Structure 1
């Protein structure tokens, strides 16, 4: 019996998505709940599982197509013999009369010794660009699939004299351009990237953005981490990072300056007696902002576990719409990429975002003497329509003082 696989309900107010990847080919055998299609919505990538066990006989969509909730994605013949590999799979593809087999072949993995390995368009481009053999790379994505970061890391290892195998198969797929020839590539923006672009530009168009800066002596936090990191990891099974300190410091600031934790809705200001912190996380398809809910009530261990879980699931592409819903304040850490200073853009409808940057030793004056301290620039971008300069500076100063004297976070000062 043939079963249709349809686009599932994607979340509140989300009615359509784009086809990001076809995770299987026509003729592949699939098990119940095995992902076959990856959808890209405005915020997350969603994998659509097979509702039955059988063999894929047809795909109704192609990569890049826009589909609505309820649209048919594929057709699966239930109870078929496992024909994902070997001659039976080949015959299944050859029997298609509508040209789907050509598309299936085109989407097959490039330069891989494992026929079941499926490369996303982004990964395939990275393979060809860096000239590595994907069959020699261990994937860190969901179900062991390769990510773009895996390919880049492998290429770097190869360049540095690592043990990556000969990449001739991947290089052969794209002939080298003649010396001096200039090339360009046009790639359609993903739905997520389009949404990011619209939201950030909308923030600049609709809000009166202003940024205030300060610098923070990280000595106390670094000393606390050094002293307690082993005990913390042993007790809580999670690494003690910097984000937990800044999240708790932000909670102190937002409690004392509630406007920074509020937003404008029409002609009203919406205040919150809770702190839901959106944490900017880099994912293969773009920046996502999952939310640490009720951060004001959570300890360091719970916050660090939430952040680690978000980072892992962002890399795997398994964050959900619910993970991104809401948020009253955002923290973005550009320091992990080496940023010295930036003016972050708020995440609408929020009214403020805290930007963290890299830590570096700098000369500062302490008690009349020049000393070397590990310093970090921090930035607070805010909507000046709601937040006055005094409030923004005060909030950032509270964060600075809490980081420089972490005891304040323990006694709520």
Structure 2
């Protein structure tokens, strides 16, 4: 049976054989993981539809067009070859990088699950990790190659190339500027602490912090519509919907699943949406549709302890909100010095479409809503 590269999306014409999980001549059982395929947008896994002996036709590191035969499995029963296009594992695609990436530095994305921003943990697909087999480093064409001078080289993967292209585009094709503010997190933390258990009992998900920023961003976008727009040639394109991308750390890098029509979602629905994305990433079930259509992005360097940063735009979007670590700091309140949990926030924006007044106003609105979370929940 011929193993062909499956159709994975209209815009994807070829893939790279990132890793063969089974070797030439290996005995294959039905359902075994055969290989990982990588594009400039996603990574996906192929599993065997029949049992037999594997014969590889396309080596690791090489590219293959959609529909190309990359291997065949010779069945022990009759030795006959028939043609089959294997399904993507679990019928889904595993995302390693979206078309629209949160380029708040590829190295400092926002993560979305935990009790506090500073303790957010990257999502590492355990299921995929368990399936990986130990292979000699020199058998992997993507592994580091050394020479006598001690210099090591590693070819850029399609995904990393795409990341590089979009980061450069964000710099070269926009007039990017960043403005900052700081937020007193005390009232929000107290609110979460009071209602944490009841929220989980009623809705089945934990009450995090990022969901509050999603809701706050939606409210701010209502007042500053240019932040939810982008430039297309000589036109400014405004969105009537608010599709908020929330960056999540995955095994192979940053992914940015999109909460569609976030303006229609209650806080608990935002939390459930984020939890669903995290579960999909863990189980390698994230789809391309989950990653497309974002109009605004939230990213968080606080997971790595970042105190302050200037996130890069998620091009072609016009703005990105950067969250950072919560720290106890002395601040002035009513003429006295007190210690409060403070967070710096940053808004990077395209100055061609967003003026400084609008950017500062947007960030101030975020600050007001987070510092008075009751107003946000009551929509006042």
* Corresponding residue to 1:11 among 9, 12, 32: 9
Q: Does 1:276 align with 2:243?
A: yes
For residues 198-242 of structure 1, what are the alpha-carbon distances to aligned partners after superposition, in whole Å with 9 as ceiling and x for unaligned?
A: 101111000000000000000111001111111111111211111
* Distance across 1 between alignment mates of 2:181 and 2:209: 17
* Corresponding residue to 2:70 among 62, 70, 73: 73
- Checking the alignment, whether the CA contact within 8 Å between 2:230 and 2:317 is kept in structure 1 is yes
Q: Which residue pairs with 1:390 in the alignment? A: 357
* Distance across 2 between alignment mates of 1:28 and 1:141: 25
* 3-state DSSP of counterpart to 1:47: strand
Consecutive aligned runs of 4 or more in structure 1 exceeding 6 Å deviation = none
Cα 1:144–1:64 shift into 2, 3 Å: closer
> Unaligned stretches of 5+ in structure 2?
80-123, 137-147
Q: Does 1:319 align with 2:319?
A: no
Structure number having the greater helix percentage:
1
> How far is the alpha carbon of 1:187 from its aligned partner?
1.6
* C-alpha RMSD of matched pairs (Å): 2.6
Cα 1:147–1:319 shift into 2, 3 Å: farther
* 3-state DSSP of counterpart to 2:190: helix
Cα 1:283–1:291 shift into 2, 3 Å: same
* Distance across 1 between alignment mates of 2:273 and 2:53: 37
* Distance across 2 between alignment mates of 1:311 and 1:187: 30
**184-193 vs 267-276, greater mean Cα deviation:** 184-193
* Distance across 1 between alignment mates of 2:300 and 2:131: 25
* Corresponding residue to 2:52 among 52, 55, 67: 55
- Checking the alignment, whether the CA contact within 8 Å between 2:33 and 2:131 is kept in structure 1 is no
- Checking the alignment, whether the CA contact within 8 Å between 2:331 and 2:338 is kept in structure 1 is yes
For residues 236-269 of structure 1, what are the alpha-carbon distances to aligned partners after superposition, in whole Å with 9 as ceiling and x for unaligned?
A: 1211111100000000011111100011112111
Q: Which residue pairs with 1:299 in the alignment? A: 266
> How far is the alpha carbon of 1:80 from its aligned partner?
4.7
* Distance across 2 between alignment mates of 1:257 and 1:140: 37
Q: Which residue pairs with 1:155 in the alignment? A: none
- Checking the alignment, whether the CA contact within 8 Å between 2:18 and 2:36 is kept in structure 1 is yes
Cα 1:5–1:283 shift into 2, 3 Å: same
- The structure having more radius of gyration, on CA atoms, is 1
> Unaligned stretches of 5+ in structure 1?
82-91, 93-138, 152-169, 171-180
* Distance across 2 between alignment mates of 1:234 and 1:80: 54
- Checking the alignment, whether the CA contact within 8 Å between 1:43 and 1:288 is kept in structure 2 is no
> How far is the alpha carbon of 1:303 from its aligned partner?
1.6
For residues 344-384 of structure 1, what are the alpha-carbon distances to aligned partners after superposition, in whole Å with 9 as ceiling and x for unaligned?
A: 00111111000000000001111111111000000000001
> How far is the alpha carbon of 1:283 from its aligned partner?
1.8
* Distance across 1 between alignment mates of 2:64 and 2:350: 36
* Corresponding residue to 1:142 among 114, 124, 127: 127
> How far is the alpha carbon of 1:147 from its aligned partner?
7.8
- Checking the alignment, whether the CA contact within 8 Å between 1:38 and 1:46 is kept in structure 2 is yes
* TM-score, with structure 2 as normaliser: 0.80
> How far is the alpha carbon of 1:305 from its aligned partner?
2.4
